[in-house]
Structure 1
Amino acid sequence: MSLLTPPRTQPSSTLTGSRIEWIRLSSVALPLAVPVSDAKVFTGRQKPMTEVIFLFTELRTADGTEGIGFSYSKRAGGPGQFAHAREIAGELLGEDANDIQRLWTKLAWAGASVGRSGLATQAIASMDIALWDVKAKRANLPLAKLLGAHRDSVRCYNTSGGFLHTPLEQVLDNADATVANGIGGIKIKVGHPDAAVDLARVAAVHERLGGSVPLMVDANQQWDRTTATHMGRILEQYNLAWIEEPLDAYDAVGHADLAAALDTPIATGEMLASVAEHWELIRHKSADIIQPDAPRIGGITQFLKLAALADHAGLDLAPHFAMEIHLHLAAAYPREPWVEHFDWLEPLFNERLETRDGRMLVPDRPGLGITLTEQARAWTVATAEFGGPGRS
């Protein structure tokens, strides 16, 4: 269904058990143990990150099936996501939870004046992901199995141990611990205003890993085209798995030129907030590895559309952040993907994802396989409920 032509009639559910009866939105502020800095901080464009704001959607159908989904915002935008979700969430009441693509379109039209990207799609994402969680639970399947898994585990790499604020010796210790915990790759941040700092850190981590563990670097959009080409050529000696976000996220042509000039694969896409924006990367051949973020692009419904385009173009996949969601989506991608390991979200969920032999294992629990902790409830700063009765 095209967003350009709104539906004239809304199908009514004949499956009364799947009718959506209750929805709760929650804004949750997750504090980080230490302020986090990447290259955007060292170049003066942002302040250190101290918290992540999550938008959770919980919903229940008439047969008692409950689903959960989430979106998030770093540094700014959390209250805006919650406000927009609160405006449109009521559109789901009474609807058949099975009709996910139609409901995505309905929510997009409910907020059409704010567009189909950015904050608008991120608010919808939380609800869309909850609907997919419900669908998988009603089928008594892990989400990956519902989608059609190609594998039961996915290669994983760690990012949280290699931020620029972390002293080099600690980065090296973190890398050792990461490998010991069964995680298969190490990504460190680059993009420091002093290129010598970047090169020294990459050389030290590469030496510590001995070339036996995949190593990635992430410049967080802080290089210009000339610097990215220069640094990329120097870094080729380390046989990196990829260079991530070397240029501005929207510079499709620059990324394409860089990808053509370097042997090292180029990865990008995490900051884009729609399928249409990612299509610019695909059609320009801007990346070897595409890195969509389901909560940013509108949820699982939109991610699946993008994944089909990426696979058709022959791209590898390494979704950004939110491993609790992306593990399932990566497991269903035809080409061997990567998933990003972050332990930041662990206080929010009662369950843990298992890593072994460099891979993250798809859980056998139905749906996403996650439930909120009491600590997550304690960090909740705003809620809104629709329908009822609510949970006891």
Structure 2
Amino acid sequence: MQAIDMRSSLQLQRDFRSASKQCQALKPCSFQDSFGGNRPRASCVDETVGLGFQAEIGASPSNDPRTARLTVRHGVDRLVTPSGKTRFRRRRPTRRPPVKITGIETYSLSSPLERPFGWSQGWIDRRTVGIVKVSTDEGIVGWGEGAGGPAAAAVHDVMAPALIGQDPMNRVGLWQKMFARLYNANVAVGFGGSALSAVDTALWDIAGKATGLSVSELLGGRIRDRIAVYATGLYYTEGEFPTRLLDEATGYVEAGFMGMKTKVGGLPMDQDIKRVAELRKAIGPDVKLMIDANQAYNAPSAIRLGQRVSEHDILWFEEPVNAQDLEGYLQVKAGLPMAISGGENLRTRYEFKDFLARRAYDIAQPDVINVGGITEMRNVAAMANAFGIQVNPHVWGSPIMIAASLHVAASIPPCPPSGDPEPFVQEPVMEFDRTPSGIREGLVEEPFDQIDGYVAVPTGPGLGIEIDERALARLAD
């Protein structure tokens, strides 16, 4: 055996240190071997910034037995000694100075409607959205949604003092810090949850832009590159029935939607049942139809309506009773043949836990601007999946909310697992609002659209959207 094969661990450490010094991107390097000679080599080329590089040190192994070869990949040094033995050493990652949050702004956007519309809880003549903008010392900006009305005060008065100067990459740590402050102020639910959601979403946007990764990539990657969507519309409008309502429904079919959702609970029950019957007749038997009461009923009334419309093949009945009425949900679920859905108005896993553990829902519908942002929506989706409950995100807002929901939906596993999952069966589907909205259509240069019932998941860094700040200023007037 040659003496060179018997080098001690101390010598190997010297080889690592000496070889590592030569791995400087795009610069000539030389390696001082254990025999004291300098052996020049070609440039060491950094293959990909942040992931590592590869370099040869010394002469070719084929003509010089004293060559040591160092390869660096993904933070691990691999050294091949002249005897052919391989040694590994994990190198310490080089950390850049943390990005710091320097400012938080909120905007209340408003856009008038040409024709007011309503649901069981009231009518509106304008669309409104609360937006948050988080700025950093490196010029990276993140956008979130949910900071409207009193939620804006929670952002500025409760959360902002704890966020300025912090590293936005620490999303989980900052989420917990924000939640703790809201919890201590007794506003962790309601508008406090919306404020938390807005800032958390903005932090994910910043993290993606800082790393060059989309939010879905930060979440671990995509299970699917496009999300099946259904049309949300068919609200109450003056003089809508039957012609305008049925024209709207058939328009969704012609546009390629696989399903649509209509409102109930805002008219006398017999009139709502007639609306549902006429809609089913207009769209035919192959298009999925869902109903949404927006918490309009008590359990016996919801059961009575559900039984009477069940002959029209209703896929699910959404929010039949008050959002917090766990026992009411269980009673409705036991009394009806269609799936029961809900959850858009619940905040954090703590409000969801009993509904999921008791299986009060067949379908959970967390809303990213209510539940606690992307961080908490991921938690709730994982809990629901473990209980065998489908997750179909609730979405009714600006492009910020749409983008955030698409990224989360891209990472939700089929429920139950399937080799060939089907939308509305195992695959998550997402609400795609079709009611008029100048905010949804005007806040970005390229609004989201569906093709054959699917919307593509954004691939750009962060949320993957570009906010038109001139439009933002106009909508905020």
Determine the structure 1 residue equivalent to 2:370: 296
Q: Tell me, which stretches of 5 or more residues in structure 2 are unaligned?
A: 1-94, 396-400, 415-426
Check conservation: 1:179, 1:358, Cα contact below 8 A.
no
Would the aligned equivalents of 2:300 and 2:332 in 1 still touch at CA under 8 Å? no
Q: Is the 8 A contact 2:215 2:407 kept in 1?
A: yes
Aligned to 2:429: 338
Q: Quote the offset at 1:200 in angstroms.
A: 1.2
1:241 paired to 2:315: yes
Aligned equivalent of 2:150, options 60, 70, 80: 80
SS at match of 2:230: strand
Match of residue 308 from structure 1 = 382
Superposed CA RMSD in Å reads: 2.0
Aligned to 2:475: 379
Aligned partners of 1:70 and 1:244: how far apart in 2? Answer: 23
- Compute the TM-score of the two structures, normalised by the length of structure 1: 0.85
Q: 1:152 aligns with which of 196, 213, 225?
A: 225
Distance 1:137 1:263 in 2: 46
Secondary structure of the residue that 1:297 maps to in structure 2?
coil
Task: Determine helix, strand or coil for the equivalent of 2:265.
Answer: coil
* Deviations, residues 125-169 of structure 1 (Å, cap 9, x unaligned): 111100011112223233223212211111111113x00226132
Counterparts of 1:38 and 1:197, CA distance in 2: 14
Letter in 1 for 2:150: G
Residue 132 of structure 1: aligned partner: 204
1:370 aligns with 2:445: no
Find the partner of 2:301 among 214, 227, 231: 227
CA drift of 1:27 comes to 2.4
Further displaced range: 318-327 or 263-272:
318-327
CA deviations over 1:17-74 (Å, ceiling 9, x no partner): 5222333322223333432210223xxxxxx2233433322223333322111115xx
Alpha carbons 1:17, 1:63 under 8 Å: kept: no
AA of the residue aligned to 2:278: A
Q: In 1, distance between residues paired with 2:453 and 2:280?
A: 17
Aligned to 2:163: 92
How many residue pairs align between the two structures? 357
SS in 2 for 1:95: coil
Quote the residue 2:29 is aligned against.
Answer: none
Q: Match for residue 387 of structure 1? A: none
The 2-side partners of 1:103 and 1:241 are apart by: 39
| Aligned mates of 1:117, 1:15 — CA distance in 2 | 36
Structure 1 residue 114 corresponds to structure 2 residue 186: yes
Secondary structure in 1 matching 2:250: helix
- d(CA) in 2 for partners of 1:257, 1:110: 36
Structure 1 residues 1-392: aligned runs within 5 Å: 15-41=96-122, 48-71=123-146, 78-87=148-157, 88-111=159-182, 112-147=184-219, 148-160=221-233, 162-165=234-237, 167-168=240-241, 169-321=243-395, 322-335=401-414, 336-343=427-434, 344=437, 345-373=440-468, 374-380=470-476
The amino acid across from 2:455 in the alignment is: M
Paired letter, 2:128 = I
- Mean Cα deviation higher: 63-72 or 229-238: 63-72
Distance change (3 Å), C-alpha of 1:324 and 1:175: farther
Q: Distance in 2 between matches of 1:347 and 1:114?
A: 36
Q: Do the aligned residues in 2 keep the contact of 1:38 with 1:165 (CA within 8 Å)?
A: no
User: In structure 1, how many angstroms separate the alpha carbons of the residues matched to 2:322 and 2:249?
Assistant: 28
Is this contact kept in 2: 1:36–1:49, CA < 8 A? yes
Residues 323 and 38 of structure 1, relative CA distance in 2, 3 Å threshold = same
> AA paired with 2:348?
S
d(CA) in 2 for partners of 1:201 and 1:189? 9
Aligned partner letter, 2:475: W
Which of the two has higher C-alpha Rg?
Answer: 2
Partner SS state of residue 191, structure 1 = coil
Contact 2:232 2:260 in 1 (8 A): yes
> Following the alignment from structure 1 to structure 2, what is the Cα–Cα distance between the partners of residues 234 and 369?
44
CA distance in 2, matches of 1:50, 1:371: 27
Cα drift, residue 363 of structure 1: 2.1
Contact 1:323 1:339 in 2 (8 A): no
Range with bigger deviation, 103-112 or 287-296: 103-112
Q: Comparing both chains, which one has the higher relative contact order based on Cα–Cα distances under 8 Å and sequence gaps of 6 or more?
A: 1
Deviation at 1:100, TM superposition (A): 0.5
Question: In 1, Cα distance between the equivalents of 2:111 and 2:347?
Answer: 22
